[in-house]
Chain A
């Protein structure tokens, strides 16, 4: 998996293994999306979210660093998932929601955007949900779906894209013989990696993972964690988790939320080892969760 991405950043003649390099050069030139390269910064300023009468997110301000794993931790119901949903505007489908404040993606506010901008935004924000949620179609079509939605129709090109991202998600070897079987027949861990491949196939800048491993068995969740660590060279990853140990393992940057507010945010080292806030200290020592 790692070699695949390294292969892409190396000059053509050094790409190894040969097959992978060939594959990449074959579809890269006329593949119309940009990869998640370049700066992509997400800044949240005074974000407030109300759902009906409830004040869910209160005056959130934070910066999600580029190409790092940011873990959002905090007890259940503190607004972690809601925050993630505002990043790709899935929050729009919640009834009675009001959002104020600003969320700046590379300087552009995404809170007020509409129509085509939302489509574009969602493409940049790959979402991995808690429960793996393959689409009701074949393995191949699952990965190709997003590309088709964005106008790629060429069978040959789709085949290459599907293979490429299934490899990136470490699933290719397990499914290459049965790409046309229903995705629902995969094991739950495989389904989650399929969802990852599907998100990567539309070439996002961010990966938003909402407790992406909590429904998986330990081995599958370890695989996903390892994938995330490998993927962070190319993508900015935001993980919501309520497994502290997982955050300790993977986080570069930590955001601690409590009752809809950001209590503390900073580099993982500092938040875990020298938390400044009393609440963070209590949470980390396991007094409440």
Chain B
């Protein structure tokens, strides 16, 4: 009997230890970014583009990367959502449970999910060369869209598979066609869509490898889809490797901004998900 309680205590301590270790990791990452980034932080950093070249210029900030990231992530999240919703709807509402196509499709999306983003980047690069394109905002958007579609599909599909059959029957029995059930389905899986969007945006904004070959890097803010665009992860990567201290500071400040964006997104996500769950049936 005593052994039983000792065991209970031991495992409780182990579990608590694991939880605290992970928390400590998060804390120390945030601390190191804050301590290095905060001192480098200034309004110039987020309101100006780098002066005299991002690698050597000591002036200015990284507005180019902030705007570039917003363009890339915003556009690809929208595109990804527009492509994934029909996929999830088709898999769950049109195809039967035992459908072979649905089975194969789901495996394929799982495989896509696991492919590292550098491979997407290389793939995008090859295609761009084939079509004679240079690094551009459009290239970045396309590759990031490809990168996040599996995340979208997988997390929405998980929710859509739990979709209660009775709701569908109720909708059909009012005379709705399968396509007309989409309004009902979307409302029920709305929290899932919100979570999926957040996961995807979080992944997209932090991805360096996908945009490296495709969107490229530049000092200026792109004014058209065919121009190259800077992004935050690459702003960290390129500027950190510079020997000049002012440039390195810019990298830390960029890392701070990137981390803050991701933090705000995750906190916002919780709130938004709860709001979207308003109509959901248990």
Q: How far is the CB of A150 from chain B (nearest CB, A)?
A: 6
| Cβ–Cβ < 8 Å partners of B278 in chain A | 182
Q: How far is the CB of A201 from chain B (nearest CB, A)?
A: 8
For window 99-138 of A, CB contacts with B under 8 Å fall at 119-120, 122-123, 125-127, 129, 131, 133-138
Contact A133 B167 (CB under 8 A): yes
| Cβ–Cβ < 8 Å partners of B170 in chain A | 127, 129, 133, 135, 195, 198
Q: In the assembly, what is the distance between CA of A195 and CA of B97, in Å?
A: 27
Contact A136 B166 (CB under 8 A): no
A90, A120, A123, A146: the one contacting B169 at CB < 8 Å is A90
Size class of the contact patch on chain A: 20 to 34
The interface on chain B, measured as residues whose beta carbon lies within 8 A of the other chain's beta carbons, has a size of 25
Contact B164 A202 (CB under 8 A): no
Q: In the assembly, what is the distance between CA of A183 and CA of B280, in Å?
A: 9
Whether B282 sits at the interface, judged by CB under 8 Å, is yes
Q: In the assembly, what is the distance between CA of A126 and CA of B169, in Å?
A: 11
| Cβ–Cβ < 8 Å partners of A95 in chain B | 96-98
Q: In the assembly, what is the distance between CA of A122 and CA of B278, in Å?
A: 29
Whether B177 sits at the interface, judged by CB under 8 Å, is yes
Contact B280 A119 (CB under 8 A): no
Kindly name the residue among B97, B169, B173 whose own CB sees the greatest number of chain A CB atoms within 10 A.
B173
| Cβ–Cβ < 8 Å partners of A125 in chain B | 173
Contact A122 B174 (CB under 8 A): yes
| Cβ–Cβ < 8 Å partners of B171 in chain A | 135, 145
Whether B132 sits at the interface, judged by CB under 8 Å, is no
For window 165-191 of B, CB contacts with A under 8 Å fall at 166-177, 180, 184, 187-188
Q: A95-B97, A95-B98, A137-B184 are in contact. Are A184 and B281 (CB under 8 A)?
A: yes
Q: In the assembly, what is the distance between CA of A138 and CA of B184, in Å?
A: 11
Q: How far is the CB of B168 from chain A (nearest CB, A)?
A: 8
Whether A93 sits at the interface, judged by CB under 8 Å, is yes
| Cβ–Cβ < 8 Å partners of A182 in chain B | 278-279
| Cβ–Cβ < 8 Å partners of B279 in chain A | 136-138, 182-184
Contact B166 A131 (CB under 8 A): yes
B96, B166, B174: the one contacting A146 at CB < 8 Å is B174
Write the chain B residue with the least CB distance to A146.
B174
| Cβ–Cβ < 8 Å partners of B166 in chain A | 129, 131, 133
Contact B167 A184 (CB under 8 A): no
Q: How far is the CB of A84 from chain B (nearest CB, A)?
A: 11
Write the chain A residue with the least CB distance to B175.
A123
Contact A135 B184 (CB under 8 A): yes
Kindly name the residue among B98, B168, B175, B187 whose own CB sees the greatest number of chain A CB atoms within 10 A.
B175
For window 177-221 of A, CB contacts with B under 8 Å fall at 182-184, 195, 198-199, 202
Q: In the assembly, what is the distance between CA of A174 and CA of B180, in Å?
A: 30
Contact B175 A136 (CB under 8 A): no
Whether A19 sits at the interface, judged by CB under 8 Å, is no
Q: In the assembly, what is the distance between CA of A127 and CA of B176, in Å?
A: 13
Contact A136 B169 (CB under 8 A): no
Q: In the assembly, what is the distance between CA of A26 and CA of B261, in Å?
A: 55
Contact B96 A136 (CB under 8 A): no
Q: How far is the CB of B270 from chain A (nearest CB, A)?
A: 20
Q: In the assembly, what is the distance between CA of A150 and CA of B174, in Å?
A: 9
| Cβ–Cβ < 8 Å partners of B96 in chain A | 95
Whether A287 sits at the interface, judged by CB under 8 Å, is no
B169, B172, B280: the one contacting A184 at CB < 8 Å is B280
Contact B169 A129 (CB under 8 A): yes
B97, B164, B172, B280: the one contacting A122 at CB < 8 Å is B172
| Cβ–Cβ < 8 Å partners of A146 in chain B | 174-176
| Cβ–Cβ < 8 Å partners of A198 in chain B | 170, 174
B→A interface (CB under 8 Å): 96-98, 164, 166-177, 180, 184, 187-188, 278-282
A-B contact list, 22 entries, CB within 8 Å: A88-B173, A90-B169, A93-B172, A95-B98, A119-B175, A119-B176, A122-B173, A123-B174, A123-B175, A129-B166, A133-B164, A133-B166, A133-B170, A134-B281, A135-B167, A135-B184, A136-B280, A137-B279, A138-B279, A146-B174, A184-B282, A198-B174
Known: A93-B168, A123-B175, A183-B279. 4 other contacts (CB 8 A): A123-B174, A129-B170, A135-B171, A137-B279
